């Protein structure tokens, strides 16, 4: 019982920490910067305020309502899976990976559900501010996700002799993302690097259990 509580508390601590950091950063950016305003930290790191309607790193696929509902369903199943992982006494690091993914997904879900209802729109000439609930720039599930981290680590032009892209401007790394996206990415990368075999073993164990139940 003690082990279960310890793993559960670790997962909850990570989830709350990621959510608090993510939302504090987003709210500060939203209420202090114009849309597409940029703050240079170094030549390869900028705080660049933008918003997106899509998934991680600004990708936009399908409609906004579909994406919001998809996120909510995914978060629900991730939360359920973490609960089952804690109850089944799976490895702490494995649970931590899923806690990072869950908290990142939930952080972006909060933007989609609530931000349109509680903020005015951010524009190039107007900084957003809080408004009474329901008087914001969009309806439920149609809020935009706040992004701010931009790392143009390499910015150059392709050599002229290259076919198709020769002479074109090139930036690595160009996506703009937020703390929640970073938590999701770290969780997935750690899961693949350190727990691929463990994940495979769990899948085989579940398949074996189902076969025995039949």
Q: What is the pLDDT of residues 91-113, one digit of tens each?
A: 999 999 999 999 999 999 999 99
Q: What is the mean pLDDT of the chain?
A: 88
What is the residue range of 189's domain?
Answer: 2-152+178-213
Rounded CA-CA distance 54/66 in Å is 10
| Number of domains the chain contains | 1
Lowest mean pLDDT among 126-130, 188-192, 200-204: 200-204
Which is the catalytic residue, given 22, 111, 147, 211?
A: 147
Residue 82: burial class (beta carbons within 10 Å; 0-12, 13-18, 19+): buried
Cα angle at 69 between 30 and 199, to 5 degrees?
A: 100
pLDDT for 160 equals 86
pLDDT for 113 equals 94
Q: At what angle do helices 2-32 and 64-87 cross, to 10 degrees?
A: 150
Is there a contact between 98 and 124 (Cβ–Cβ < 8 Å)?
Answer: no
Rounded CA-CA distance 147/181 in Å is 9
pLDDT for 32 equals 98
**Structural domain includes residue 193:** yes
Which is the catalytic residue, given 43, 181, 201, 211?
A: 181
- Confirm whether 147 is a catalytic residue: yes
pTM: 0.85
Q: What are the pLDDT digits (tens) for 156-172?
A: 888 888 888 888 887 88
CA distances from residue 82 to 4, 94, 170 in whole angstroms, order as listed: 12, 9, 40
| Number of Cβ within a 10 Å radius of residue 144 | 22
pLDDT at 55 > cutoff 70: no
Q: How far apart, in Å, do the first and last CA atoms of the chain sit?
A: 30
pLDDT at 174 > cutoff 50: yes
- Confirm whether 22 is a catalytic residue: no
**Structural domain includes residue 165:** no
Q: What are the pLDDT digits (tens) for 5-44?
A: 689 999 999 999 999 999 999 999 999 999 999 999 998 9
**Structural domain includes residue 167:** no
Interval 143-164 mean pLDDT: 90
| Number of Cβ within a 10 Å radius of residue 199 | 15
Interval 175-182 mean pLDDT: 96
Interval 169-198 mean pLDDT: 92
Q: What are the pLDDT digits (tens) for 60-87?
A: 555 667 778 888 999 999 999 999 999 9
pLDDT for 1 equals 45
pLDDT for 158 equals 86
**Structural domain includes residue 109:** yes
Can you say whether the dihedral through the CA atoms of 174, 175, 179, 184 is positive or negative? negative
**Structural domain includes residue 132:** yes
Lowest mean pLDDT among 83-87, 137-141, 171-175: 171-175
DSSP states of 151-185 as a string?
A: ---EEEE--TTSTTTTT-EEEES--EE-HHHHHHH
**Structural domain includes residue 161:** no
**Dihedral over alpha carbons 14, 16, 19, 21 (to 10 degrees):** -80
> What b-and-e string marks burial along 95-126, b requiring 16 or more CB atoms within 10 Å of the CB?
bbbbbbbbbbbbbbbbbbbbbbbbbbebeeee
């Amino acid at each position: 019982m003690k082990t279960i509580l310890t793993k559960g508390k670790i997962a909850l601590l990570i989830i709350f920490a990621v959510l608090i950091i993510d939302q504090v950063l987003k709210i500060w950016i939203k209420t202090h910067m114009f849309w597409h305003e940029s703050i240079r930290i170094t030549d390869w790191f900028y705080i660049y305020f933008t918003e997106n309607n899509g998934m991680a790193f600004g990708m936009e696929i399908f409609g906004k309502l579909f994406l919001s509902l998809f996120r909510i369903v995914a978060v629900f199943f991730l939360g359920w899976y973490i609960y089952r992982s804690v109850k089944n006494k799976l490895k702490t690091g494995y649970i931590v990976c899923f806690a990072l993914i869950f908290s990142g997904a939930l952080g972006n879900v909060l933007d989609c559900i609530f931000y349109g209802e509680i903020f005015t729109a951010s524009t190039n000439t107007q900084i957003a501010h809080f408004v009474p609930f329901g008087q914001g720039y969009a309806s439920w599930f149609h809020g935009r996700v706040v992004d701010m981290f931009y790392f143009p680590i390499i910015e150059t032009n392709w050599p002229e002799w290259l076919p198709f892209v020769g002479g074109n401007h090139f930036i690595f790394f160009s996506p703009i993302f937020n703390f929640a996206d970073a938590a999701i990415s770290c969780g997935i990368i750690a899961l693949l690097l350190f727990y691929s075999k463990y994940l495979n073993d769990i899948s085989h164990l579940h398949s074996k259990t189902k076969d025995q139940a039949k």
